[in-house]
Amino acid sequence: MKSVAELMSLRGRVALVTGGAGHIGGVVCDTLAELGAAVAVLDCSADACNTTANRVADCFAVKTLALPVDLADENAIRAVPARTVEQLGSLDILVHCAALVGTSGLPGWAVPFSEQSADTWRKALEVNLTSAFILTQSAADSLAASGRGAIIHVGSIYGIVGPDFGLYAGTQLGNPAAYAASKGGLLQFTRWLATALAPRVRVNMLTPGGVERGQDATFRERYVARTPLARMATEEDFKGAVAYLASDLSAYVTGQNLIVDGGWTVW
């Protein structure tokens, strides 16, 4: 019987992380690299990709690959798995972390529903949901060939519950319909893939709660007041869930949604 340390090890495996240069994505890359995986960092900014890939390689002594890709470009997305296998040798883990989030500064985004833009809705679905479909479709054979393929979709509490708009009153923050719809769709896509790609690839979702990033003080106070653990999340709070879902610790787990929200959705 393997030890917990052996089950958690990702040595010899290769991970691809979309949104890898972002707040949560960067922590995902760190976690996977610390456990021994080589990491391909995909993000829309070439500078951010290179910075993150170089930092991860230096900190954890693993191979990395910077992949600046626009997730609205289908052809570019479809080329990513082959590029990863060519440069890093295989593809064992796919983490889809990239997203347009509630704070994205887009026209017709974090505004009242009557002012939300159909064009921005389409863009959100393209990045948050359609890109996951295209990338998974393109990566499925490589993940299956690894013999231990694992997909982690990063969702949101607003993909499983409705928003409390009282949190946002009097602030500059918003909660766009497209964000909730795309994250809810990603959860159901996760469940669908868990059966469609079984038994060779496991597919699960990690659902974070709200993360402390210097938001409006009134919003933070309201959010914390209705969170059982009485604080917002930090990126570090997601490391354990990533390690679990990516590794053989969860070898018999698929189609699940691991919610890391301090109890927000328990009410």
d(CA 89, CA 13): 9
Q: Which two tokens stand for residue 32?
A: 């996977």
Burial class (CB in 10 A: 0-12, 13-18, 19+), 115: exposed
Phi, psi of 62 (to 5 degrees): -125, 160
| β-bridge mates for residue 206, sequence order | 154, 258
Phi, psi of 98 (to 5 degrees): -65, 140
- Show contacts of 230-239: CB within 8 Å, 24+ apart: 230/262, 231/262, 232/262, 233/208, 233/209, 233/260, 233/261, 233/262, 235/23, 235/24, 235/26, 235/27, 235/211, 236/27, 237/208, 238/24, 238/27, 238/28, 238/31, 238/206, 238/208, 239/27, 239/30, 239/31
Catalytic residue among 158, 179, 223, 244: 179
Does 223 qualify as catalytic in the annotation? Answer: no
Residue 109 per-residue DSSP state = S
Q: Which two tokens stand for residue 126?
A: 């393209």
Catalytic positions, please?
A: 179
